[in-house]
Each structure stands twice: as structure tokens, then as C-alpha cells.
Amino acid sequence: MYAKDWFAYQGDIELELWMAPKVIDLQYMTCLPCDENFFCAPGSQNGIKIILFVSPLSCQKNADKDHLSGCLVHEITHHIVRDISQATVFSMKRKKDLDVPMWIEEGLCQLIQSEVHPYLYHKLSEDIAKTTRWYDFEELWNDLSSCTDTTTAYLQAYKETKTFIETKGKMELIRLLYLNRTHDVNWNNLPYGENNA
């Protein structure tokens, strides 16, 4: 499994795949608003890790094997990051609890997804080059979908996580995720990118 190898994760991850017939069904399954661009989501029930996704029969994007593989690895990465860091699944509480910032978790998910789905890598690179206004990092700590411009929020999460890994190394970020278990990491002390406001 690509995501496990990326993190050198030795544990077992048991996942259930739940397929929604249509996007509207995914909305009911996740209790979140889902539009036509919403293809997959992580979840859990009674301690079981779940990946919810829209059926390839009703979702043109998920019918593309590369796209669906990218979406699934993105959601698997959410579960691995949470296993390694013991971060709360309640992303709106991350800042209050000084837990792993969501921009790091989402950034990792997109980075690994872009390695599995190369088209995404090129699209993200083009979008970064065109973007001139970024969020303050305080606004990216909790759930990124609460940002006014979610596209920019997710793009910035990818950009900053990629930059961190390029400058400090993948193993350093993984080390910090493990340190999060004991709360011996101060996420406020991370070196942030140049365009953080």
C-alpha cells in the first residue's frame, strides 16, 4: 500500500469501503454538504476506519481509475496520519487542543495523492503559480472547509507541507507526527512559507 510505505508505517490498518450510489447519498453518509466535486471522505463507526466514496457508475471522475486511486490514497492517508499522531478526528478542535494542524494533515493527503495521480501534481503546481493571496496559518489550523475560499485553503496546505518536506525532510515531519502522541511538539514553531498572509 503506497501510503503505508510513504510513512514507513508498520502497523496494520483495517479499512471498510462504503460506496454511495450518488453524491447526495454521500452527503447523508457524511452529514456534510457534498457538491459534484466531493468524491470520497474518511470516516469511522464504532472504532472501524471507513472510506466513503461515490460509485464510479454515477460519478464520472470516480470512473477514472487513476482519479479513484488518488482519492482512495488521500483518504487512507487521513487514517494513517491520525494513527501515527493520535490526532482527534474532530478537526474543529485541533487549534484549541494544540493538535496536528489540519493544513498539515490535508497537505500530506494531497501530496501523497499527487504522487499517485500525477495530473493532480501538475494542476496543483499551476494553481500555486497563479495564486497571489494566501491565508494566515491560524485560519488553517482547524477544518479547512470552514475557510471562505476552500480551494485556496487546500492549495496552501499542499504548498506549505510540500515546502516543509523539501526543506526539513519527510522523516522530520513523520517524527513530529509521532511526537504529537505525547504533546511534545509545538506546532506553532514550525517554519512557515514566505507567503503566509
For residues 37 and 137, what is the distance between their CA atoms, to the nearest angstrom?
Answer: 25
- Using DSSP, state whether 40 is helix, strand or coil: strand
Contact 157, 103 (CB under 8 A): yes
Stated pTM of the model: 0.89
Residue 117 DSSP symbol: S
**Which residues face 50 on adjacent strands?**
16, 43
Residue 76: CB partners within 8 Å, gap ≥ 6? 1, 3, 4, 13, 15, 51
Q: Convert the pLDDT of each residue in 42-93 to its tens digit.
A: 888 888 888 988 888 888 888 888 888 988 999 999 999 999 999 988 777 7
